[in-house]
């Protein structure tokens, strides 16, 4: 296939700077010029249901949009439904299909009619938008490969991301392979050899970037960067750390598990996955939970952080009558927080991985405009793609070690329409992994990138 330039463009806008509005405007102009009749939007699962609302708010041209959710069969049916439903329009509308990354690459040899990827290929979109395109940063991931193939058949392509680089500059290759393969080539390993500096464990990690100026110039040849400082007059952010002393029981178990983790790592092969697992185990304990080998679910072993959070809720929500967002890393923590709110008869919304995408909209709407006073979110599920600026305060019960996820979660309240200074409170247990994670986030580092070489910082004595 002949590769052509200038068919793709990157909107590298920070969260809240209007990249969705801009993307809809670009798609609309393509539609009005007669160049775009079918638009495919591929987005994180948490954002799929948001796109139809964004079209309702911003589009000033005829369109029909379907959020492809449900079973594989249902998704394919919704795609076909677009073609049927367009007949009711006097003027042929822009046809828009929205699907999540995890579904877009699915095939089904046993049931070809339920093969989503094949259905999308057959639909032949004129334009594809990759929302939060860092989701396809990994060149070997199936969803990245699928997007490359879909991108090869589309005339026009957009990537939308405020954080296109999460772990290293190598992240840009897969996104640009989708966008325009002539910019950085169609071979990742040639790209890595050209721009990457190898080192770390066994010399197999990318530890730096060479010729960054050339790489940046090429990337920006078909992209535009907008930061909040450039575009918006948003209120200031204030970050506070509230130290929480663990109970003697929590502290004793934490010290015991830390010693065990140190011994296991010291005596075995060191991998990022193994160390990350140990970090999560220690982090669970600072939140009041422990996962024991003979039990299927975490056991609550303390409530030090929960009491501190309750104190904040009493001051901020009960007394001051202000809305609050609470993020937590683990399912058990989310459940404990909700149980505490139930006991206090405080109306709240909750979004974790088990809440269906189609059910999230009403939960958010109730928090934004209704009587819901607290939004409890598992950070991986509720930290991206939604607006929660009815609150100007976020409490982090526990932290993620992924900087991009953390940075995006801070922007849930710091968006257009926010009129008050935003406050972020980290609940951290001193002299624990909490502090190490917070320091890494403050330095804008990815723990997964550095822990192999520096693991003793997390498991040794401070």
pLDDT of 334-391, one tens digit each? 999 999 999 999 999 999 989 988 889 999 999 999 999 999 999 988 988 789 999 9
Ordered alpha helix ranges (H), 267-397: 272-286, 304-313, 331-343, 357-369, 379-382
Kindly give the pairing relationship between strand 196-199 and strand 205-209.
antiparallel
Same topology between domain 8-231 and domain 237-459: yes
> 0.75 exceeded by the pTM?
no
Q: CATH number of the domain at 237-459, out of 2.40.50.1040, 1.10.3720.10, 2.30.110.10, 3.40.50.300?
A: 3.40.50.300
For the cut 70, the answer to whether the pLDDT of residue 7 exceeds it is: yes
Q: What is the mean pLDDT of residues 12-31?
A: 90
Specify the residue for token string 């076909």: 80
Say how far apart CA 352 and CA 334 lie, in whole Å.
Answer: 8
DSSP, residue by residue, 98-144: EEEHHHHT---SS-GGG-HHHHHHHH--SEEEEETGGGG--TTSHHH
Q: How far apart are CA 126 and CA 166, in angstroms?
A: 29
Which pLDDT tens digit goes with each residue over 227-278?
877 766 778 899 999 889 999 999 999 999 888 877 777 766 666 667 777 7
Give the whole-angstrom CA distance, residue 117 versus residue 104. 6
User: Which position has the higher pLDDT, 357 or 414?
Assistant: 414
* Contact present, 437 and 399 (Cβ < 8 Å): yes
Domain boundaries, the chain: 8-231, 237-459
Residue holding tokens 């953390």? 406
Strand, coil or helix: what is 28? helix
140-194 pLDDT, tens digit per residue, is: 999 999 999 999 999 999 999 987 876 778 999 999 999 999 999 999 999 998 9
| Among 402, 396, 383, 172, CA closest to 272 | 402
Contacts of 390 (CB under 8 A, 6+ apart): 323, 367, 368, 369
Contact 39, 52 (CB under 8 A): no
Fold of 8-231: Rossmann fold (3.40.50)
């Amino acid at each position: 296939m002949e590769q052509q330039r200038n068919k793709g463009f990157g909107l590298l806008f920070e969260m809240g700077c209007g990249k969705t509005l801009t993307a809809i405007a670009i798609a609309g102009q393509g539609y009005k010029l007669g160049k775009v009749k079918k638009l495919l939007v591929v987005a994180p699962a948490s954002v799929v249901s948001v796109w139809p609302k964004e079209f309702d708010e911003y589009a000033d041209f005829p369109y029909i949009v379907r959020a492809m959710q449900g079973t594989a069969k249902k998704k394919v049916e919704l795609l076909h439904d677009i073609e049927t439903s367009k007949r009711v329009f006097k003027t042929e509308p822009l046809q828009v299909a929205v699907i999540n990354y995890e579904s877009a690459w699915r095939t089904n040899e046993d049931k070809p009619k339920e093969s989503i990827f094949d259905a999308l290929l057959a639909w032949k979109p004129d334009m594809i938008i990759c929302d939060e395109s860092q989701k396809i940063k990994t060149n070997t991931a199936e969803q990245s490969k699928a997007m490359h193939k879909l991108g090869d058949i589309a005339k026009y392509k957009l990537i939308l991301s405020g954080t296109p680089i999460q772990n290293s500059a190598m992240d840009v290759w897969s996104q640009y392979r989708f966008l325009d393969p002539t910019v950085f080539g169609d071979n990742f390993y040639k790209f890595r050899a050209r721009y990457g500096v190898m080192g770390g464990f066994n010399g197999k990690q990318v530890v730096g970037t060479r010729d960054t100026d050339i790489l940046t110039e090429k990337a920006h040849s078909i992209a535009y960067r907008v930061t909040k400082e450039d575009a918006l007059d948003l209120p200031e952010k204030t970050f506070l750390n509230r130290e929480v002393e663990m109970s003697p029981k929590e502290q004793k178990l934490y010290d015991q598990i830390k010693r065990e983790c140190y011994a296991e790592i010291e005596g075995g092969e060191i991998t990022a996955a193994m160390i990350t697992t140990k970090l999560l185990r220690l982090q669970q304990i600072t939140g009041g939970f422990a996962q024991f080998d003979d039990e299927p679910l975490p056991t609550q072993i303390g409530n030090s952080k929960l009491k501190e959070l309750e104190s904040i809720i009493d001051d901020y929500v009960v007394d001051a009558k202000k809305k609050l967002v609470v993020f937590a890393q683990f399912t058990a923590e989310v459940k404990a927080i909700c149980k505490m709110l139930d006991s206090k008869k405080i109306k709240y919304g909750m979004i974790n991985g088990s809440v269906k995408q189609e059910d999230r909209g009403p939960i958010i709407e109730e928090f934004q405009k209704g009587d819901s006073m607290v939004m409890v979110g598992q950070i991986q599920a509720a930290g991206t793609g939604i607006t929660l600026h009815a609150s100007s305060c976020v409490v982090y019960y526990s932290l993620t070690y992924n900087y991009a996820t953390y940075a995006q979660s801070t922007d849930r309240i710091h968006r257009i329409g926010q009129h008050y200074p935003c406050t972020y409170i980290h609940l951290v247990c001193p002299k624990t992994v909490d502090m190490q994670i917070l320091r890494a986030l403050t330095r804008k580092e990815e723990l997964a990138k550095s822990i192999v070489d520096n693991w003793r910082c997390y498991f040794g004595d401070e």
